[in-house]
Structures are given as structure tokens and as C-alpha cells.
């Protein structure tokens, strides 16, 4: 592990809470983000981070869980901890109840458990179509070869977009997430360009659906939806489409990377799912818990004393899920992957409260199917060049993961 990127500012406190400095945008060696968050949580369930303009970090299961539910204090009107006054508004991500519920109601159908079950065979076909061609290669960058495009192709099919557009969407989404909170020259301009391209794609699609409405088509239904008593506007339609693409593609990619990284470096755990594939759903839940990835932001909109810590309206908070899912007060040996665990129900990897992830059911099925079909065809593999790899925040993810295996003669 490199020198710790987290500075504990000894002797300093804010409203009785420890003060730290943690730049969560910098690349770190594999798993160091999780280990640094474990270190912070051991100090206090709430700390003040001086990075940027400063913000609270909620680190325990109970603080994060409660903040997700107390939207009247922790508002979604700003969702990046370093940006308290965003000049954008994502729908429904940055809506609060009751308006949030009205938007979610028109989006739920294609992501319901029943809808996902009905598409399971197609999801499986897509997984196989990416895995089969690489079985005989013996070496791939798993992120590029599978984790990026598999969930993209599945998502595009669910919402009725052409499969051939998947590579373009992967590129756009990577640029947007690369620009969130980044300070590098050109990152903001690149992000704006990618978002403009996504917007134009859906502006063209909206014009087509208005002129040529289709039966059983998600975007036709969305273009004709009502939000409360009002017909959805073109601006709302385009905003929602942008958010769906950003939310639907990158998270599953990141979780797949961490799942395969763990199994590549823990052969005993891998052997258990090879011996008993019925264990895969349990394994997925445990891997998602231990290697959760999302660090949500919220804006504090009224003065409050939260778990003994006075917070002021206008301050920002990070709901640090990758810490909360490894909380010692909630889980026994929380940093250890344990497929026999009995205390992992209700983890926060998919958030909680009104903003619980819309794609939860889809993500779980994608992860389960990917694990099943990969291990049917490539049961034994190893991770290589790990010393060269890094992970990035604020949404944790691996840029690459090289896997090797022996090819049958």
C-alpha cells in the first residue's frame, strides 16, 4: 500500500467530530479506497473532510441508512459532495419526494422483477455472446472485453435501443464519469461534450417517437407520460434519458470488475461456486456488500443535530456506502467475504429509502448471469499485473483487469 492519502488532522475537530483531509478523486492502488474508509470509520462514524469546500462524511450503516430516509434534511438537490450549487438538475436523481415518486412511477415498468424475469433468456444470450469468443484467447482485459459492453447491450435492449449503439454509449458514459469532480484540464469540456452528444441522440429519438409512435415501446410511453396532472415536457424527457443512461451502464461494469477480481485472487471462494453454482446468488450479494462502490452526495437543507453532530443548512454530506456496508456494528468480520454469512441482509450497496436504485433487480440478474455463464466456460483463471492497476472515485471502479487462463488443447 502506498502512503495513506487520508490525513487525520490531529487536535482539530468540527462540532465534536474529527477533521480529515481525503481527496477522493485520486487514483489509488487496488482496494485502498475501501481500506482507507475502514480506517476512517474506526475513528468515528462521522468526520469532516476538508477536501474542496469541505463536507461531512457519514461512514456507518446507521448514519448512511438514516440519511437516505431523512430526505427533508439530506436533500438530493445536490449529489456530488464537492458541488453544493450544481448548475444541472438530473431527473429523477436530484428530485425529492413527493415529486420524485411521480417520476419513478413512469420509469418502473421495464425494471420491475417480472419484466427482468421475462428477459432473463435474452440477458443470458448476451452474456454468452461476449464470453464464447474469448474462451480460446487465454487472456483478456475483463473490463474492456466483458464488463463494459455486456450491461450496456442488455440495458439498450430493455429500453428498446439498437445494440450497435452500445460502443458509443460506453464511450460517452466513461467521459461523463471521468469528468465528475475532476480537476484536470479539459475534463469538464469533454464531459460537457459527451452530455451534449447524449442529449442530441435522445432529441432525435424523441422527434422520431412523436412522428412515429410505437406499441410496447419505452420511449413512446415516456414521451406520452404524465407527471402528476401535467404531460411530460421535452426537457424532462431528455433529462430522464440522460440520467437513465448514466445510471444504468457504469455501476454494473464496476461491480463486475470487483467480483471477478476477488474470485481471481481467492481461488477457494471461486472453487465453492464451481462446486455449487446454486451458491452464486449468495456470493453476488456478499461481493457487492464487501466491494460496494457508490459514494452519494446530499445537501443539508436545514440545521440539524445528526447523531450528536450539529450540521448547518448549506453544508454537504457524503453518504459513504463503501464504508457503511463494511460496518463492524452491523456485520461480523465485515471486511471478509463469507459466503456462509447470515447477517448480510439489507445491505446498502443499492442505497435505501426513496432513492433506492431503480435498476436493482436488473443489476442483480446481470451479475448472477454473468457469474454463471463465465464460470461454465472459464472456471479457472488468474489476475495478472495487479501492481499496475488502480481504482478511482468518487464512484469506485477499475479501469482494467487482466485475466489469464490455460486454454484447452
Residue 178 included in any domain:
yes
Query: Which residue reads 441482509 in cell numbers?
Result: 345
Query: What is the CATH classification number for the domain harbouring 375?
Result: 1.10.630.10
Question: Which pLDDT score, from 0 to 100, does residue 1 have?
Answer: 45
Residue 323 included in any domain:
yes
Residue 221 included in any domain:
yes
Residue 409 included in any domain:
no
Q: What is the CA radius of gyration of the chain?
A: 21
Residue 271 included in any domain:
yes
Query: Which residue reads 457503511 in cell numbers?
Result: 324
Question: Exposed, middle or buried, 406 (CB in 10 Å: 0-12/13-18/19+)?
Answer: exposed
What cell numbers appear for 204 in the block?
432525435
Q: Return the bridge partners of 140, or none.
A: 403
Query: Which residue reads 432513492 in cell numbers?
Result: 355
What is the tally of structural domains in the chain?
1
Rounded-to-integer distance, Cα 323 and Cα 295, Å:
9
Q: Please state, in angstroms and as integers, the Cα–Cα distance from residue 111 to each residue in 93, 97, 214, 285, following that order.
A: 16, 20, 19, 19
pLDDT in tens, the chain (409 residues): 456 788 999 889 999 999 999 998 888 888 899 999 999 999 999 999 999 999 999 999 999 999 999 999 999 999 999 999 998 899 999 999 999 999 999 999 999 999 999 999 999 999 999 999 999 999 999 999 999 989 999 999 999 999 889 889 888 888 887 766 555 667 788 888 998 999 999 999 999 999 999 999 999 999 999 999 999 999 999 999 999 988 777 789 999 999 999 999 999 999 999 999 999 999 999 999 999 999 999 999 999 999 999 999 999 999 999 999 999 999 999 999 999 998 877 899 999 999 999 999 999 999 999 999 999 999 999 999 888 888 877 788 888 999 999 998 6
Q: Which helix (H) or strand (E) holds 320?
A: strand 316-320
Quick check: pTM over 0.85?
Answer: yes
SS3 79: coil
Residue 237 included in any domain:
yes
Question: Which pLDDT score, from 0 to 100, does residue 52 have?
Answer: 92
Q: Please state, in angstroms and as integers, the Cα–Cα distance from residue 144 to each residue in 134, 215, 254, 330, 332, following that order.
A: 12, 35, 11, 35, 35
The answer to whether the beta carbons of residues 145 and 167 sit under 8 Å apart is no
Domain span at residue 214 reads 6-404
Residue 141 included in any domain:
yes
Rounded-to-integer distance, Cα 272 and Cα 255, Å:
20
Residue 367 included in any domain:
yes
Amino acid at each position: 500500500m502506498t502512503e495513506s492519502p487520508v490525513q487525520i488532522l490531529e487536535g482539530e475537530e468540527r462540532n465534536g467530530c474529527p477533521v480529515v483531509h481525503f481527496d477522493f478523486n485520486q487514483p489509488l492502488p487496488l482496494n485502498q479506497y475501501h481500506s482507507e474508509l475502514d480506517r476512517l470509520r474506526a475513528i468515528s462514524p462521522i468526520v469532516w473532510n476538508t477536501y474542496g469546500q469541505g463536507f461531512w462524511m457519514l461512514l456507518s450503516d446507521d448514519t448512511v441508512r438514516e440519511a437516505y430516509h431523512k430526505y427533508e434534511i439530506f436533500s438530493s438537490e445536490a449529489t456530488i459532495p464537492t458541488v453544493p450549487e450544481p448548475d444541472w438538475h438530473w431527473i429523477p436523481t436530484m428530485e425529492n419526494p413527493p415529486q420524485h415518486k411521480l417520476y419513478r412511477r413512469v420509469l418502473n415498468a421495464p425494471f420491475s422483477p417480472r419484466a427482468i424475469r421475462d428477459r432473463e433468456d435474452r440477458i443470458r444470450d448476451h452474456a454468452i455472446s461476449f464470453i464464447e469468443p474469448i474462451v480460446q484467447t487465454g487472456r483478456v482485459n475483463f473490463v474492456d472485453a466483458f464488463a463494459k459492453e455486456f450491461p450496456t447491450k442488455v440495458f439498450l435492449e430493455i429500453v428498446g435501443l439498437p445494440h450497435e449503439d452500445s460502443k458509443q454509449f460506453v464511450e460517452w458514459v466513461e467521459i461523463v464519469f471521468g469528468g465528475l469532480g475532476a480537476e484536470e484540464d479539459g475534463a469538464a469540456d469533454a464531459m460537457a461534450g459527451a452530455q451534449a452528444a447524449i442529449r442530441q441522440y435522445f432529441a432525435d429519438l424523441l422527434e422520431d417517437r412523436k412522428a412515429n409512435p410505437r406499441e410496447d415501446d419505452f420511449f413512446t410511453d415516456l414521451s406520452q407520460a404524465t407527471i402528476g396532472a401535467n404531460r411530460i415536457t421535452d426537457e424532462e424527457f431528455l433529462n430522464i434519458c440522460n440520467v437513465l443512461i448514466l445510471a444504468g451502464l457504469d455501476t454494473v461494469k464496476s461491480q463486475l470488475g470487483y467480483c471477478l477480481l476477488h474470485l481471481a485472487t481467492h481461488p477457494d471462494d471461486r472453487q465453492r461456486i464451481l462446486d455449487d453454482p446454486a451458491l452464486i446468488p449468495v456470493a453476488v450479494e456478499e461481493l457487492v456488500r464487501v466491494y460496494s462502490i457508490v459514494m452519494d452526495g446530499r445537501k443539508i437543507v436545514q440545521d440539524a443535530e445528526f447523531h450528536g453532530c450539529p450540521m448547518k443548512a448549506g453544508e454537504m454530506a457524503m453518504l459513504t456506502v463503501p464504508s457503511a456496508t463494511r460496518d463492524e456494528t452491523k456485520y461480523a468480520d465485515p471486511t471478509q467475504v463469507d459466503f456462509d454469512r447470515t447477517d448480510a441482509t439489507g445491505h446498502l450497496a443499492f442505497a435505501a429509502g426513496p432513492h433506492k436504485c431503480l435498476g436493482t433487480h436488473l443489476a442483480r440478474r446481470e451479475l448472477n448471469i454473468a457469474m454463471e455463464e463465465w464460470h461454465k466456460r472459464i472456471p479457472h483463471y488468474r489476475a495478472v499485473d495487479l501492481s499496475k492497476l488502480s481504482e478511482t472515485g468518487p464512484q469506485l471502479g477499475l479501469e482494467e483487469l487482466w485475466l489469464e487462463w490455460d486454454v484447452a488443447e
